[in-house]
Amino acid sequence: MTSPSGLPARTDRLIVMGVLNVTPDSFSDGGRYTDLDSAVAHAVQMTAQGADLIDVGGESTRPGAVRVAAEEEGRRVLPVIGELAAAGLAVSVDTYRAAVAEQALAAGARIVNDVSGGLGDPDMARVVRDAGCPWVLMHWRGHSASMAALAQYDDVVADVRAELMTRVDEALAAGVAASQLVLDPGLGFAKRPAHNWALLAHLEAITGLGLPVLIGSSRKSFLGSLLAGSEGQARPTSGREAATTALTMFAALNGAWGVRVHEVGPNVDAALVAAAILAVR
């Protein structure tokens, strides 16, 4: 599999990124890992289960989330990143603020996972270029408070592909190397359930761009809608793990470079099963 420069490549399976939200309000695990000890312990546990990378985020990007100040975001993530990096864990920072990314890289993060694809902060390209680190460019149309109204597409697959290509072109124009870039179609971000399913069904349109592709579907609301009970009530986040693991298998079999998940162990197992199948095709 293609791997971005600056991150160890795997040949046995796709990359599994473990989610570590040090926030009080993330949609699935907000408030669980807001103190340093619990955050570090959870990261160590995910690494023991096979996580290749721990993705530390200090600001919720769930629909309707209210932004926090950059100083607060840094206060949440920097001590955790420093502790994990000192312990030898591979860490990414989930931010779209250049100042936070720059401080996180200095604290030991190895990759910037930018849900805005560079649109949230015009200085991000400089930070990534100067650091020479991998940069995840996610498809994004606006902040959490307004993104539901932005879920309008003529052809969601063609539109997302074209918009991601624009993000790549602008990153390259800013001096970021193509070998640093990872793409993410942004499932759940300014997407209705039908849009997410269409992007997954035509994942080759994104992987065909020739860059590594990260899939973040873990516990998202479109899975809750799919798994709704007889009364139409979406299944809670705690009941979406099997569906998440199924999508990890799908992503692995369809050319993704990595997945971003909350529950690491079952997804590592799914990735290994998919790799065994691919090995004898």
**What does 2-38 look like in DSSP terms, one character per residue?**
---TTS---SSS-EEEEEEE--S--TTTTTSS-SHHH
173/147 Cα distance (integer angstroms): 27
Sign (positive or negative) of CA dihedral 24, 28, 32, 38: negative
Q: How far is 184 from 207, CA to CA, in rounded Å?
A: 10
Residue 74 neighbours by CB distance under 10 Å: 21
**Which positions are annotated as active-site residues?**
220, 260
Query: Which helix H or strand E contains 113, and what residues bound it?
Result: strand 111-114
For 129-163, give the DSSP string: HHHT--EEEE---S-TTTGGGG---SSHHHHHHHH
Residues 89 and 195: their CA atoms lie apart, in Å, by 35
State how far the alpha carbon of 216 is from the alpha carbons of 144, 173, 183, 223, 245, in Å: 16, 27, 11, 12, 11
The C-alpha R_g of the chain, in whole angstroms, comes to 17
- 47, 1 Cβ separation under 8 angstroms: no
